[in-house]
Chain A
């Protein structure tokens, strides 16, 4: 990644992330969000994370190749989901996920 490309990607992302984190503090000043906007914001986490998980697991090329290895991410995802529901801990989810995925790669 060249510094020019880095400046665009990191710079723009830094601006939008900063705005997301700081803007409500000054725009709201203790008032509550308009209900329609609050409903849309509420929907972002489940929609965004489901999209990201689906994007990582659903690999069209690997399925067409019909190799059992195409299912490694699916197999490793199951214990991660169980650990997530039980512990709600990012730390344990990474340990479980990387451990299972690594073991399956070696199998």
Chain B
């Protein structure tokens, strides 16, 4: 049985690179939040409750674009629904863990902490849900602090909105580029992009992201055809 101290000693170095990333990611996110008219308290609360980079950037930028609230919630939910895959992949490591700790672990999983923890779980070295949860919480701590720092900075520094929101575009480009592009994934990406451009040409700016993404998913399922039933 390892003590809490040694769990922290193992988790902290594993969490460090993720934490550094979240500081760089969180500051422009906080700045964009203030530009969308959120207070520092709202930004801090959102970082605690949602803890989702893509989600929080999306809320701020869609709010700035005066999108309807239902459209914001649906788009954010769709973008984050990819995280069901992470919990599904982690389920096998949580079989002998209590309900409460497993829930906390899964609720604080992100793209990055999933990557770090999966590598540790499969490395063969001792790694438990307790250390993994600590990694998640260290990373979330860095995320919340960076967002609050961004909110403070955004209040005094005139950062162009376009520049802060291009940080988000860069994240999305990265997350798109690192996908495994088999045939269904190519169909999904191309149809989704085409769908968005078409919607915007027609002037349907609000639902463009959601409509494009749904079109992409349908196109991807169609290319699979009889492969899955």
Which residues from chain A sit less than 8 Å from chain B, CB to CB?
Answer: 1, 3, 5-6, 8-14, 16-18, 20-25, 28-30, 33, 35-36, 38-58, 60, 73, 76-77, 80-81, 83-85, 88-91, 93-98, 101-102, 105
Q: Which of B69, B179, B209 contacts A52 (CB 8 A)?
A: B209
In the bound complex, do residue B221 and residue A39 qualify as a contact, i.e. CB atoms below 8 Å apart?
yes
Query: Would you call A25 and B90 a contact (CB within 8 A)?
Result: yes
Q: In the bound complex, how far is the Cα of B55 from the Cα of A100, in angstroms?
A: 24
- Please tell me the size bucket of the interface on B: 35 or more
Distance of B206 from chain A, by nearest CB (Å): 11
Q: B88 near A51 (CB under 8 angstroms)?
A: no
Q: How far is the CA of A36 from the CA of B222 in the complex (A)?
A: 11
Please name the residue on chain A nearest to B104 by beta carbon: A22
CB closest chain-A residue, reference B194: A54
- Distance, CA A31 to CA B191, complexed state (A): 32
In the complex, the answer to whether B88 meets A77 with C-beta atoms within 8 Å is: no
Chain A nearest CB, measured from B217 CB (Å) = 5
Measuring CB to CB, which residues of chain B are less than 8 angstroms from any residue of chain A?
Answer: 20-21, 24-25, 28, 36-39, 42, 45-46, 49-52, 54-55, 58-59, 63, 69, 72-73, 76-88, 90-92, 94-95, 102-103, 106-109, 111-112, 160, 162-163, 165-179, 181, 184-186, 188-197, 200-201, 208-210, 212-217, 220-221, 224, 227-229
Q: Is the CB of A44 within 8 A of B82?
A: yes
CA distance A40 to B227 in the complex (A): 13
By the criterion CB–CB under 8 Å, are B175 and A49 in contact?
A: yes
User: Whole-angstrom distance between the alpha carbons of A36 and B172 in the complex?
Assistant: 26
Q: A13-B55, A41-B85, A54-B197 are in contact. Are A47 and B72 (CB under 8 A)?
A: no
Q: Can you name the residue of chain B whose Cβ is closest to the Cβ of A3? A: B42
For the complex, give the distance between the alpha carbons of A102 and B25 in Å.
Answer: 16
| A residues near B215, Cβ cutoff 8 Å | 47
> Which A residues are CB-close (under 8 A) to B213?
44, 47-48, 50-51
Smallest beta-carbon distance B77→chain A, Å: 4
Residues from chain A with a CB closer than 8 A to the CB of B174 are 80, 83-84, 88-90, 93
Residues on B with C-beta less than 8 A from A93 are 170-171, 173-174
Within 8 Å by CB of B193, from A8, A51, A83, lies: A51
- What residues on A are CB-neighbors of B39 within 8 Å? 1
With both beta carbons as reference points, the residue of chain A lying nearest to B176 in the complex is identified as: A49
Residue contact B80 to A17, C-beta cutoff 8 Å: yes
Question: In whole angstroms, what is the CA distance A39 to B216 when docked?
Answer: 12
Partner of A50, one of B25, B73, B169, B188: B188
Decide if A80 touches B170 in the complex (CB within 8 Å): yes
A51 engages B80 (CB within 8 Å): no
Would B177 and A94 count as touching, CB distance under 8 A? no
B163 touches A105 (CB 8 A): yes
Q: Which of A14, A38, A40, A57 contacts B50 (CB 8 A)?
A: A14
Contact A25 B91 (CB under 8 A): yes
Cα of A77 to Cα of B25 in the assembled complex, Å: 17
Q: What is the minimal beta-carbon distance from A21 to any residue of chain B, in angstroms? A: 5
B-chain residues with CB within 8 Å of residue A76 when the two chains form the complex: 166
Say which residue of B162, B181, B221 sits within 8 Å of A40 (CB atoms): B221
